[in-house]
Amino acid sequence: MSSHISTPVFRIEVTSSLTNRADIIVTQLPAIGVTGKIPIKVVDLYFLKGNFPEEALREVSQSLLCDPVTDKYTWKQVENGRVSKFNGRNSSESLIIEVMLQPGVTDNVANELKQTAQRIGLNQLEAVVTGTSYHFSGEFSEEMGHKIAKSLLVNRTIQHYYLGEIQPEFIQTSPKIHPLEQIELSKLDDNGLLSLSERRRLALDLNEMRVIQDYFRTENRPATDAELETIAQTWSEHCTHKTFKARINVQDGKDTYSVDNMLKTYLQAATDTINAPWVRSAFVDNAGVIEFDDEFDLSFKVETHNHPSAIEPFGGANTGIGGVVRDILGVSHRPIAVTDVLCFGPADLPHASVPEGTLHPARIRAGVVKGIEDYGNKLGLPTVNGSVTYHEGYISNPLVYCGAIGIGPRDSHPREPQPQDRVIVLGGRTGRDGLRGATFSSLTMDAQTGEVAGASVQIGDPITEKGLLEVITRARDAKLYNAITDCGAGGLSSAVGEMAANLGVRVELSKVMLKYSGLAPWEIWLSEAQERMVLAVPPENLSALIEICETYWVEWSDIGEFESTKRLDVRHADNQVIDLENGFLHTCPRRELNAEVPAKNRTQVAKNQASDLSLSELLLKLLSHPNIASKESIIRVYDHEVRGSTIVKPLVGPYADGPSDACVLKPLETAGWKGFVVANGMNPILGQADAYAMAISAVDEAVRNAVAVGADPERIAILDNFCWGDPLRPETLGTLVQAAQGCHDAAVHFKTPFISGKDSLNNEYLGSDGKQRAIPGSLLISCIAIHQDVRNSVTMDLKESGNHIYMVGEWIPALAGCHALYVGGAALFENSHSLHVSPSLPELAPQVYAALNKVMHKGLVRAAHDLSEGGLVVAAAEMALAGRLGLAIDISALAETPAVALFAETNGCLLVEVPPENEREFESHFKNLPLEKIGMVTNQNTFIINNAQSVLLNLELSELISSFKIFVSTS
């Protein structure tokens, strides 16, 4: 990079009268020791490089950069050298911190500004970079200036900063063709092979490196850098799921057994056993597909973007949404909604407790939420379902699960490229961003990860993806392509390589459209730069596709041809870059691993054992715990109403602040009142005690949440997302095996086929202190279900005083891994046998859910809510506060101590509100099924729990509301 400026560069400053961005910084300053009222001004910076007159600068500023109501602008020409280093203490604005993206990092605002300027005739504009200037009034030392910048304003993975006025840096490019690096493997010993894998961050073990070495010995030549990188991403854990496909020798106490391919043995086997005729595609495409009606199918995919979000939260989450939306495009469907499930470290963690090289959890949360909001809202897709979990295990390893739902005409997705089809790349240009993302996601992070893996992080461009979405939809309807996939992990290497796996392909990399020149061939081939799709297009259809692309301003390039060669042939300006047999490339050596199932320690997550809380105090503490308390401050950032298809929203009740069990949507493309439901289940705290129980509970909770709003229990499909630590550690792998077994058993029990899934392993962090920090094994189960008539949807908020409350389902209390223990209520459960009981697979749940579905669609039910975190009392409290109605519950029928009856957790149970006039018919549907009438809705604004005429709890509704909404009121 060079700071020498030959062409004039102009600095435009835009200042808004709105203070929201400054206010956010003010609230964060006390956490780093800055107190008092600190006036802050935030200024947007635009650096324009080009020879243009003053009137052109004025036009750009007024027409493109400013809101005439709220903004003011100034401009000046930039001179060589910075204006000042540090402004000192005597200025009225004693501290100026200016922040800018590193050269080469995607700058969407700059890209849009340049394109728009050219469209209005400002062709003199050569380049644009943007930044932000923060002006702090008061007395600050230079040391404090750096602390504020590093702690609050800058992510040094993708940004740099300066105290004073920053000098713009424009990326320096080179037109030269980089020579291929030849890597001689034949003479390397085992240490040399491992050193090579580590040096290039290939994430390959010794056996895999030996297999590669033998291949090139047979070829009698060295490997090229591009070939080695291609093999590494194709064989990565992220792409190949090596652990799930391995042969695993399991030691379970005195018993030993082997599992040959967990993916087939447990997950795919469950789907095969159920054999649901309405499953259209499972485990074979970018997303799972189910039948919606006679004309349309639905698709669903959930991905993880954990490692990228740890080092660059905004970009990681942003591209997580962008990537999973492209998965939906990859099955030729139109995306219609997105989901997010997030796991963070405690937001109130002292800064001194943050490991070196790790961002503070509050900062990770803010960036992740902003990244999801930015992408979904700009694409015009509602964010309709999700959850947030806080746990110490996520401090260095946040989990970001991003999901997308799509719809498409039946049988509209072609899958087979044909010889002579052109290899067409649509959408964004290729840059250096996103290199080695697949292998990066397969490695354990450490304190230096952010520095060495910055190129693995990408910034999304939802505006480009919006155009891509429109092009793909129209190309599909016109039947212009024979196959399609997205450029995800591994970039063109993965997309083109997988499409040609059973055929063959010849690619010319010099035809790939680049963000800037100077990329090495392997970088062009491996880059995951966002918003790109690859299509196999018959030559005769190319002109029609180009016409559609031009209509939506989507760039395209023809980079090669599919052939019947069974080889991957990649060139750059006629220089051979890759020449590999597909049979070798797509046959990753199978691993043989050892697993040890740990002895169940069902109370290990209990903390603060000596806590002495009353029943009322424990309830309020649970309601205010971040895992249970309202997520409204996050949900309100997203748009869950756009497209007008969301029937049941994430927040329900007369004040729209109750936590909905699931969301119901009615596709705009379809006739009638049939809709679909999206829900999820997740409980990593239980997983620390019993991984098998966690899995069956996650499946049951997802199903139960869907049933609670009216979903048809016979038309539910599920997805698995496993996030785990290092699978080479036997005890870690043992819990993963347990969870996979639980997934199989629960799916078969509920007849809910798996249609897609994903695993993200090695979610660990090696601190500079040598301490290994692993996440708790975390399994997300997402479900998509058919709702036969959305007009009969049910929400969880209480509706009317005088109605009765029933508990349906088998109530089998369990305290292992329960939230009451997690928040410090152990003293209430001393000597309870339930402490050693895990939530089990409820035998009668399928029949209970079927009966509940019938009474819902008969209009007999006014509200329903599942029992999950916090047990019966939390579920009842949430229904009351959401409906702003009182509730009186009698737990006499539950043969347990009051604490166990109220706070134990169980599977298979829901609370249901039924009007008196519907009771007899309602009860008739539950003949021979577990059913208890336990309470009544009142208009007293009180929440009362009785036991044999003894009052156990008597709280004002306002107390429940204030505890539940504590983070809304303070955010």
Distance between CA atoms of residues 425 and 437, nearest Å = 19
| The two three-digit tokens of residue 493, written as one number | 């290497």
What is the dihedral angle through the alpha carbons of 262, 265, 266, 268, rounded to the nearest 10 degrees?
A: 100
Distances (CA, A) of 910 to 664, 810, 841, 844, 905: 18, 10, 15, 13, 12
| The two three-digit tokens of residue 759, written as one number | 């695993």
Distance between CA atoms of residues 550 and 545, nearest Å = 9
288 φ/ψ angles, rounded to the nearest 5 degrees: -80, 150
Distance between CA atoms of residues 687 and 271, nearest Å = 24
Distance between CA atoms of residues 735 and 921, nearest Å = 45
| The two three-digit tokens of residue 749, written as one number | 């029990």
Task: Judge whether 779 and 682 are in contact, CB under 8 Å.
Answer: yes
Angle between helices 957-964 and 615-624 (to 10 degrees): 40
Distance between CA atoms of residues 89 and 612, nearest Å = 52
What is the dihedral angle through the alpha carbons of 241, 242, 243, 248, rounded to the nearest 10 degrees?
A: 140
Angle, CA 591 vertex, CA 585 and CA 596 arms, to 5°: 155
385 φ/ψ angles, rounded to the nearest 5 degrees: -155, 145
Pick the closest to residue 203 from 579, 607, 3, 489 (CA basis).
489
Distances (CA, A) of 61 to 45, 47, 65, 118, 719: 11, 11, 5, 14, 48
Q: Do the strands 505-508 and 567-572 form a parallel or antiparallel pair, or are they unpaired?
A: parallel
Which residue is associated with the tokens 């740890």? 310
Q: What is the 3-state secondary structure (H, E, C) of 731-796?
A: HHHHHHHHHHHHHHHHHHHHCCCEEEEEEECCCEEECCCCCEEECCCEEEEEEEEEECCHHHCCEC
Which residue is associated with the tokens 């870690």? 732
Q: Do the strands 223-224 and 182-183 form a parallel or antiparallel pair, or are they unpaired?
A: antiparallel
Q: Do the strands 772-774 and 764-766 form a parallel or antiparallel pair, or are they unpaired?
A: antiparallel
Question: Would you tell me how many other CB atoms lie within 10 Å of the CB of residue 552?
Answer: 13
State the burial class of residue 434 (Cβ atoms within 10 Å of its Cβ: 0-12, 13-18, 19+): buried
Of the residues 238, 333, 391, 640, which is catalytic? 238
Distance between CA atoms of residues 41 and 23, nearest Å = 9
Question: Would you tell me how many other CB atoms lie within 10 Å of the CB of residue 861?
Answer: 25
State the burial class of residue 284 (Cβ atoms within 10 Å of its Cβ: 0-12, 13-18, 19+): exposed
Torsion sign, CA atoms 963, 965, 970, 971 = positive
Of the residues 4, 160, 178, 305, which is catalytic? 305
Distance between CA atoms of residues 87 and 163, nearest Å = 8
CB-facing half-sphere around the CA of 370: CA atoms within 13 A: 14
Distances (CA, A) of 268 to 515, 586, 720: 41, 20, 11
305 is catalytic: yes
Distance between CA atoms of residues 387 and 781, nearest Å = 12
Distances (CA, A) of 55 to 6, 45, 61: 21, 19, 10
Task: Judge whether 823 and 627 are in contact, CB under 8 Å.
Answer: no
Distance between CA atoms of residues 235 and 190, nearest Å = 19
Q: How many residues does the chain have?
A: 971
What residues act catalytically? Answer: 238, 305
